């Protein structure tokens, strides 16, 4: 076969956006690393429970507890704490307990991350740039968290201003398109057309796109498979 396919590059991680909305995330520990894990989980709309003696809580974790953002269990970890956990994030300075937590989670098939112990993790945290619905993660597969942070900052600086807002507008357009063409058989056509919009319009056009523009675009051009300019859409609406 003459066709060329991408080469396999082993040693990586399967990069996914894990949906934990309303899932029970158990965080063990109350220091700086735990605070970071808690924020990641809350940003993903998870139900977070923190297990740590009150004396071990840092200011940020204490604040989130006092605000009712997370549930707090004021003691050290016990195996029964895993009974209702969908994910476990351990951030404690106790190697033996960390290993035990990892073993218990694997026995119960609960995905687990043990801070600073890559070999005992089912997944890694990367360095994340967030701009509204846009999330860009850089991972070094546990090899160099600081390097991930450096690369992430460079990536973020290279992104044009308004990228997150443009992504949000495209999301609204996609939702409207599904209402206009809900049939599953339209799936491939919907994706091709949205792709053409993203390729044809500038970032500024996408940011400037109003709901009226979206409705005009969908009503007059989707069925034809056409993608006019934003100016043409507005001319159409006013004619």
59, 93, 116, 122: the catalytic one is 116
Contacts of 214 (CB under 8 A, 6+ apart): 172, 173, 176
Place of tokens 């992104």: 159
Distances (CA, A) of 167 to 43, 94, 170, 180, 203: 18, 42, 5, 20, 9
Measured between alpha carbons, how far is 51 from 90 in angstroms, rounded to an integer? 10
Report whether 202 contacts 160 (CB < 8 A): no
Tell me if 128 sits within 8 A of 74, measured CB to CB: no
b vs e for 201-233, b when ≥16 Cβ sit within 10 Å of the residue's Cβ? bebebbbbbeeebbebbbeebbeeeebbebeeb
In the annotation, is 116 catalytic?
Answer: yes
What residues act catalytically? 116
């Amino acid at each position: 076969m003459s066709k060329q396919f991408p080469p396999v590059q082993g040693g990586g991680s399967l990069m996914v956006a894990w949906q934990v909305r309303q899932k029970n995330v158990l965080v063990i520990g109350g220091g700086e690393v735990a605070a970071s894990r808690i924020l990641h989980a809350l940003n993903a709309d998870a139900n977070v429970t923190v297990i740590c003696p009150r004396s071990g809580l840092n200011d940020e974790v204490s604040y989130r507890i006092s605000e009712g953002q997370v549930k707090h269990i004021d003691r050290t970890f016990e195996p029964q704490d895993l009974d209702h956990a969908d994910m476990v994030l351990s951030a404690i300075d106790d190697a033996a307990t960390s290993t035990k937590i990892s073993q218990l989670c694997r026995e119960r098939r609960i995905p687990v991350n043990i801070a600073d112990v890559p070999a005992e993790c089912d997944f890694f945290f990367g360095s994340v740039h967030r701009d509204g619905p846009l999330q860009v993660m850089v991972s070094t597969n546990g090899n160099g968290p600081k390097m991930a942070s450096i690369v992430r900052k460079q990536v973020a600086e290279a992104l044009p201003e308004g990228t997150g807002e443009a992504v949000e507008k495209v999301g609204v357009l996609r939702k409207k398109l599904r209402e206009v063409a809900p049939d599953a058989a339209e799936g491939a056509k919907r994706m091709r057309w949205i792709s053409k919009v993203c390729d044809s319009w500038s970032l500024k056009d996408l940011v400037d796109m109003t709901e009226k523009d979206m409705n005009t675009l969908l009503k007059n051009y989707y069925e034809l498979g056409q993608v006019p300019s934003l100016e043409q859409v507005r001319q159409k609406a006013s004619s």
